C-alpha cells in the first residue's frame, strides 16, 4: 500500500459491484426498473461500473449533474429535485438532447411547464408519504388529481406517475423500523395509484431511499427504485441497519501528520473539507469517521474514531497500543459518515480503486 501524501478517496471495486448487483437482482425479480441515484458518487469513473453492469437509467439531484452525466454519454436521466422554472432554458435543452424525467409538486410550476415544453418531457408527480421534505401530501388526492389533469394538458408532456423519497428511513435503527417505513410508503403510494388509475391517468410508482430498497425482500408493485447510497454505503447506513460493515466500499486515505503522546491522539490531514461535517453518535460520542484496515476493509478494533474535525484537521482517538504501532507518515483509511458528501467534496478529483 503506497502512503498517500494528501487525503485521497479509495473505492473498493469488488464491494461496489456486489452492492449494485444485489439491488439489480432484486429489481429484476419483479421487473422493477433500477434507476440508481448518481448524486452519491457524482463521478464518470464510478458511473462506468454501473454501465458495465448494464445500467442505462439514472437519477441525479441537480441540473448541473444531469448535464455532467449527459456529457458523459448517459441518455436517460431523472432529475429528482422539483423543477426550478428559473432554470428552464437548461432543462429544455436537456429534454431535447436526452430522455429527461423531472418531478413537480406545485401547480404553478406544472402550469409553467405545460406552457413552455417544446420537447418530450417525462414527468412524475412528487408525493410526500411522510418525510415532509418535498411533494404533495399523499392524502390530498384532489390536489394530486388536479396536478395530473394540469399536466395532461401539455402537448409534449409524458406523465409517468408518482414518485416519493421516504427519507424518514434515515431515522430508523433496526430492520423492523426500516420495513415499517417501506410498508407504509408502498401502501400510501398504492392508495394514490388507485386514485389516479380510477381517473384514467398514468400511475407508475417510483420509490427512492437506500435503507428501504436495501432491506425489503421484494419490490413487487413498484415500477422503479432510485437508491443511491447503496453503491458505497457508509457509517450512517450502517447505523440505520441498511448494510453490514462488509458492504462499505469507500474510504478516505489520510496521512498521519503528528501524534500527541499525552492524550493518545493522532492528527491526520483529513478535515471537514474532505469528510464533511456530517456526524453520527456512536458509543456515547459524536464521531466524524472510523478507521478501517486497508487490507481487510474491516474496522480496526478497538475502534479508532475521528472525534474532532476542523477544516483540514482530523483528530483520531486511539488506544495506547495503537498509538505505539502507528507512525507519522503512515496512511490511515477512514470510513466516512456520509459518502455522498465526501464524493461531492472530491468532485473533479481522481479517485483510486482497490484491485478487483
Give the footprint of a copy of itself on this chain (CB under 8 A). Answer: 3-6, 39, 61-62, 64, 81-87, 105-106, 108-109, 132-134, 137, 167, 255, 257-260, 262-263, 265, 267, 269, 272-273, 276-279, 308, 310-313, 315, 328-329, 338, 340-341, 344-345
Identify which of residues 32 and 135 has a Cβ nearer to a copy of itself in the complex. 135
Identify which of residues 219 and 227 has a Cβ nearer to a copy of itself in the complex. 227
Identify which of residues 202 and 270 has a Cβ nearer to a copy of itself in the complex. 270
Identify which of residues 134 and 242 has a Cβ nearer to a copy of itself in the complex. 134
- For residue 259, the minimal CB distance to a copy of itself (Å) is 7
- For residue 128, the minimal CB distance to a copy of itself (Å) is 8
Give the Cα separation of 275 and 337 in Å (integer): 8
- For residue 8, the minimal CB distance to a copy of itself (Å) is 12
Characterize 20-42 residue by residue with b for buried, 16 or more Cβ atoms within 10 angstroms of its Cβ, and e for exposed.
beebeebbeeeebbbbbbbbbbb
Identify which of residues 27 and 47 has a Cβ nearer to a copy of itself in the complex. 47
Q: Cell numbers of 74, please?
A: 448517459
Give the Cα separation of 127 and 67 in Å (integer): 25
Q: Cell numbers of 29, please?
A: 425479480
Give the Cα separation of 219 and 2 in Å (integer): 43
Identify which of residues 132 and 187 has a Cβ nearer to a copy of itself in the complex. 132
Identify which of residues 3 and 120 has a Cβ nearer to a copy of itself in the complex. 3
- For residue 156, the minimal CB distance to a copy of itself (Å) is 22
Question: Reduced to 3 states, what is the DSSP secondary structure of residue 280?
Answer: strand
Identify which of residues 4 and 157 has a Cβ nearer to a copy of itself in the complex. 4
CB contact at 8 A, 53 and 17:
yes
Number of neighbours of residue 144 by Cβ within 10 angstroms: 24
Q: Cell numbers of 220, please?
A: 413487487
Give the Cα separation of 206 and 159 in Å (integer): 13
For 294, counting Cβ atoms within 10 Å of its Cβ (0-12 exposed, 13-18 middle, 19+ buried), the class is middle
Identify which of residues 121 and 256 has a Cβ nearer to a copy of itself in the complex. 256
Give the closest residue to 247 by CA, choosing from 298, 281, 288. 298
CA 156 to the chain's CA centroid = 30
Between the alpha carbon of residue 282 and those of residues 169, 188, 236, 240, 307, the distances in Å are 18, 33, 10, 12, 10
Give the closest residue to 35 by CA, choosing from 280, 205, 259, 268. 205
- For residue 346, the minimal CB distance to a copy of itself (Å) is 12
The CA dihedral of 13, 14, 16, 20, to the nearest 10 degrees, is 140
- For residue 315, the minimal CB distance to a copy of itself (Å) is 6
- For residue 162, the minimal CB distance to a copy of itself (Å) is 16
- For residue 48, the minimal CB distance to a copy of itself (Å) is 22
Identify which of residues 225 and 315 has a Cβ nearer to a copy of itself in the complex. 315
- For residue 151, the minimal CB distance to a copy of itself (Å) is 16
DSSP state of 37: B
Q: How many residues does the chain have?
A: 356
Whose cell is 448494510? That residue is 243
- For residue 52, the minimal CB distance to a copy of itself (Å) is 26
Amino acid at each position: 500500500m503506497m502512503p498517500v501524501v494528501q487525503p485521497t478517496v479509495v473505492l473498493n471495486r469488488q464491494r461496489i459491484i456486489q452492492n449494485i448487483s444485489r439491488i439489480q437482482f432484486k429489481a429484476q425479480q419483479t421487473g422493477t426498473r433500477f434507476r440508481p441515484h448518481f448524486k452519491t458518487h457524482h463521478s464518470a469513473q464510478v458511473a462506468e461500473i454501473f454501465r458495465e453492469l448494464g445500467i442505462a437509467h439514472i437519477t441525479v439531484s441537480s441540473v448541473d449533474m444531469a448535464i455532467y452525466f449527459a456529457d458523459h454519454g448517459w441518455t436517460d436521466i431523472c432529475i429528482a429535485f422539483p423543477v426550478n422554472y428559473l432554470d428552464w432554458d437548461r432543462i429544455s435543452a436537456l429534454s431535447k438532447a436526452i430522455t429527461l424525467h423531472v418531478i413537480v409538486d406545485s401547480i404553478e410550476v406544472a402550469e409553467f411547464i405545460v406552457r413552455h415544453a417544446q420537447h418530450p418531457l417525462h414527468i412524475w408527480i412528487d408525493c410526500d408519504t411522510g418525510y415532509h421534505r418535498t411533494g404533495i401530501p399523499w392524502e390530498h388526492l384532489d390536489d394530486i388529481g388536479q396536478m395530473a389533469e394540469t399536466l395532461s394538458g401539455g402537448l409534449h408532456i409524458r406523465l409517468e406517475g408518482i414518485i416519493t423519497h421516504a427519507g424518514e428511513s434515515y431515522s430508523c435503527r433496526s430492520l423492523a423500523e426500516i420495513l415499517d417505513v417501506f410498508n407504509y410508503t408502498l401502501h400510501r403510494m398504492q392508495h394514490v395509484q388507485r386514485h389516479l388509475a380510477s381517473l384514467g391517468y398514468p400511475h407508475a410508482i417510483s420509490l427512492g431511499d437506500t435503507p428501504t430498497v436495501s432491506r425489503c425482500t421484494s419490490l413487487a408493485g413498484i415500477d422503479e427504485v432510485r437508491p443511491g447510497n447503496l453503491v458505497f454505503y457508509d457509517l450512517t447506513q450502517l447505523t440505520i441497519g441498511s448494510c453490514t460493515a462488509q458492504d462499505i466500499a469507500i474510504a478516505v486515505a489520510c496521512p498521519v501528520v503528528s501524534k500527541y503522546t499525552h492524550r493518545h491522539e493522532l492528527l491526520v490531514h483529513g478535515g471537514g473539507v474532505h469528510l464533511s461535517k456530517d456526524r453520527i453518535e456512536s458509543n456515547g460520542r459524536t464521531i466524524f469517521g472510523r478507521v478501517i484496515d486497508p487490507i481487510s476493509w474491516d474496522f480496526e478494533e478497538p475502534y479508532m474514531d475521528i472525534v474532532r474535525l476542523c477544516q483540514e484537521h482530523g483528530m483520531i482517538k486511539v488506544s495506547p497500543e495503537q498509538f505505539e504501532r502507528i507512525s507519522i507518515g503512515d496512511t490511515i483509511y477512514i470510513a466516512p459518515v456520509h459518502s455522498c458528501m465526501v464524493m461531492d467534496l472530491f468532485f473533479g478529483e481522481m479517485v483510486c480503486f482497490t484491485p478487483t
